[in-house]
């Protein structure tokens, strides 16, 4: 379809996987826009915010057949802004309302356009086209503007930044300056950078996720008294404190039984009663520190050093605190062993959970948005034993980093915007989320993470809750 300057077209579609196309054409979808044909064969169309944008080959459009009485470029831009104020920027089902509005004679033709493009601006746009097409060397641009950074700053102020492709290999020497300018223009551009250069960053819906490597995360903690391997185990949830210490009770009655809730205590009581009934008699030494009730019952029964365990006697023993404590701690081996197992398991589990939450608390809001990750599976290419290639299902865990990713890249670019090239490092050079964070922690603007003071004892409220909940697993 042949187009000429002054024609009007209506853009219907484009390659919506392309970041720049979306930036250019979203506001023009299903709306008429004016064509501007340049002498070098390039075709541009008017944009309400970006002035002129290129009409690329993948754009799908219809030509307005009756373009009579439609305004010129600058009047068109004014008209579109007026129309947006009326429509509230809402999408319109077709072009007719806007076409009708464009034909209204309420703009004085004799007024000097406010945004008239100067010949110098046209030359700058032509220069950008040549850079994108590889027809102009960056050294030439640097000589004309004093430096490439000055050129980026200049076209950013002019509003021409969106016409330049920042991911071109030719721009690697000014990558930081260029990316910084783009992020200042559009803060969400950080996500395009991340997807282009950062391994392990995945987009799912509108959010971004980091595929966890716990050894990498553990390396972010400095000035630590704890080995990095233990930090890694804690963060991964695989840390078991019982493999380093044995958390046994030396007083099962006070540490466990006495802290059980009413129901859990009744379960243990029932088990003790049944065990005493099976025993039938209880022998004890008068020379050891036994409860007074033992000797009292023995005297009543006339059985020195021995108690006949009738139902009445068992009831008396169960209601005497000193006697029940002695039975649990000294006589009933199975009951004591079960209570100690509950105590030891809860002690280790709660301490592990506390340390997990405390270390992840240092990462949340700085490296990840939340400690609540999600498991996923993927197909991995492997070598089989016979030397052939095959696949297997592998598993990973990822964490949302949408906010942190944006803060980290933006902060790093603010510090490194003038440091371009290999020696000074670029985001492309790091190629990894954690590597970029380490650089930001070493040279700014971030700080290394400190291992918080970790408690050596579990929260007693969590302990009491845990041992009560686990009683039925043992009794």
Q: Is the pLDDT of residue 415 over 60?
A: yes
- Inter-residue contact 347 to 463 (CB < 8 Å): yes
Q: What is the pLDDT of residue 81?
A: 77
Q: Which of 162-171, 382-391, 414-423 has the lowest mean pLDDT?
A: 414-423
Q: What is the pLDDT of residue 93?
A: 60
Q: Is the pLDDT of residue 91 over 60?
A: no
Residue 88 lies inside a defined structural domain of this protein:
yes
- Write the pLDDT tens digit of every residue in 269-280: 999 999 999 999
Residue 50 lies inside a defined structural domain of this protein:
yes
Element spanning 461, H or E: helix 460-470
Q: What is the pLDDT of residue 347?
A: 93
Tokens of 188: 């969400």
Give one DSSP letter per residue of 123-160, joined into a string: HHHHHHHHHHTT-S-HHHHHHHHSSHHHHHHHHHHHT-
Residue 61 lies inside a defined structural domain of this protein:
yes
- Alpha carbons within 13 angstroms on the beta-carbon side of residue 234 total 28
Q: What is the pLDDT of residue 90?
A: 55
Mean pLDDT (whole number) for 135-157: 85
Residue 402's SS3 state is helix
Q: Is the pLDDT of residue 105 over 80?
A: no
Residue 392 lies inside a defined structural domain of this protein:
no
Work out the pLDDT band at 110, boundaries 50, 70, 90.
very low
What is the pTM assigned to this prediction? 0.69
Taking each helix axis from N to C end, the angle separating 228-236 and 333-363, rounded to the nearest 10 degrees, works out to 100
- Write the pLDDT tens digit of every residue in 416-441: 988 876 556 889 989 999 999 999 99
Residue 98's SS3 state is helix
Q: What is the pLDDT of residue 39?
A: 64
Q: What is the pLDDT of residue 333?
A: 95
Residue 277's SS3 state is helix
Residue 133 lies inside a defined structural domain of this protein:
no
Show the domain range for 17.
8-102
Q: Which of 105-119, 148-162, 435-449 has the lowest mean pLDDT?
A: 105-119
Work out the pLDDT band at 75, boundaries 50, 70, 90.
confident
Report in angstroms the alpha-carbon separations of 47 from 24, 33, 155, 294, 349. Answer: 8, 7, 17, 97, 61
Q: Is the pLDDT of residue 171 over 50?
A: yes
- Write the pLDDT tens digit of every residue in 199-241: 999 999 999 999 999 999 999 998 667 889 999 999 999 887 7
Residues 6+ apart with CB under 8 A from 352: 234, 239, 240, 241
d(CA 302, CA 252): 32
Residue 57 lies inside a defined structural domain of this protein:
yes
- Write the pLDDT tens digit of every residue in 333-379: 999 999 999 999 999 999 999 999 999 999 999 999 999 999 999 88
Q: What is the pLDDT of residue 2?
A: 83
Q: Is the pLDDT of residue 472 over 70?
A: yes
Domain count, the chain: 1
- Write the pLDDT tens digit of every residue in 10-33: 998 998 888 888 888 888 888 899
Q: How far is CA 446 from the centre of its chain?
A: 17
- Inter-residue contact 368 to 210 (CB < 8 Å): yes
To the nearest whole number, what is the mean pLDDT of the chain? Answer: 87
Q: Which of 68-77, 87-96, 388-397 has the lowest mean pLDDT?
A: 87-96
d(CA 346, CA 463): 6
Tokens of 68: 């009579």
Q: What is the pLDDT of residue 112?
A: 43
Residue 53 lies inside a defined structural domain of this protein:
yes
- Inter-residue contact 75 to 107 (CB < 8 Å): yes
Q: What are phi and psi of 33, to 5 degrees?
A: -140, 155
Mean pLDDT (whole number) for 285-299: 87
The percent of residues above 90 in pLDDT, for the chain, comes to 50
- Inter-residue contact 45 to 35 (CB < 8 Å): yes
Residue 213 lies inside a defined structural domain of this protein:
no
């Amino acid at each position: 379809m042949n187009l000429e300057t002054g024609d009007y077209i209506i853009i219907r579609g484009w390659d919506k996987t392309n970041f720049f196309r979306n930036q250019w054409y979203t506001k023009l979808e299903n709306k008429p826009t004016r064509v501007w044909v340049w002498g070098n064969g390039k075709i541009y169309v008017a944009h309400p915010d970006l002035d002129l944008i290129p009409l690329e080959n993948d754009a799908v459009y219809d030509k307005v057949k009756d373009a009579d009485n439609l305004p010129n470029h600058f009047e068109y831009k004014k008209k579109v802004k007026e129309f947006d104020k009326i429509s509230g920027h809402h999408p319109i089902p077709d072009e007719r309302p806007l076409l009708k509005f464009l034909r209204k004679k309420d703009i004085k033709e004799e007024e000097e356009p406010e945004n008239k493009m100067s010949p110098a601006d046209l030359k700058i746009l032509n220069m950008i086209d040549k850079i994108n097409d590889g027809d102009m060397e960056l050294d030439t641009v640097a000589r004309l503007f004093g430096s490439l950074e000055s050129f980026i700053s200049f076209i950013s102020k002019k509003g021409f930044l969106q016409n330049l492709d920042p991911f071109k290999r030719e721009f690697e020497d000014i990558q930081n300056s260029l990316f910084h300018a783009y992020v200042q223009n559009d803060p969400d551009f950080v996500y395009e950078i991340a997807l282009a250069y950062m391994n392990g960053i995945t987009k799912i819906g509108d959010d971004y996720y980091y595929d966890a490597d716990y050894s990498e995360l553990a390396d972010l903690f400095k000035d630590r008294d704890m080995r990095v391997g233990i930090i890694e185990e804690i963060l991964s949830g695989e840390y078991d404190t019982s493999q380093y210490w044995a958390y046994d009770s030396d007083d099962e009655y006070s540490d466990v039984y006495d802290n059980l809730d009413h129901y859990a205590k009744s379960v243990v009581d029932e088990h003790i009663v049944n065990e005493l009934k099976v025993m039938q008699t209880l022998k004890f030494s008068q020379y050891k520190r036994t409860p007074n009730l033992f000797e009292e019952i023995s005297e009543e029964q006339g059985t020195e050093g021995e108690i006949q365990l009738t139902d009445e006697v068992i009831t008396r023993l169960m209601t005497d605190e000193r006697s029940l404590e002695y039975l649990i701690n000294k006589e009933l081996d199975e009951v004591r062993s079960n209570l100690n197992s509950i105590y030891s398991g809860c002690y280790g589990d709660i301490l592990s959970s506390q340390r997990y939450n405390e270390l992840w608390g240092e990462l949340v809001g700085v490296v990840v948005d939340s400690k609540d990750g999600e498991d996923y599976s993927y197909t991995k290419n492997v070598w089989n034993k016979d030397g052939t290639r095959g696949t297997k299902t592998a598993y990973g865990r990822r964490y949302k980093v949408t906010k942190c990713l944006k803060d980290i890249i933006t902060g790093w670019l603010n510090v490194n915007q003038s440091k371009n090239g290999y020696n000074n490092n670029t985001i492309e050079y790091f190629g990894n989320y954690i590597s970029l964070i380490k650089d930001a922690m070493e040279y700014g603007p971030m700080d290394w993470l400190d291992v918080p003071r970790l408690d050596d004892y579990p929260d007693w409220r969590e302990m009491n809750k845990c041992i009560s909940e686990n009683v039925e697993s043992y009794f």
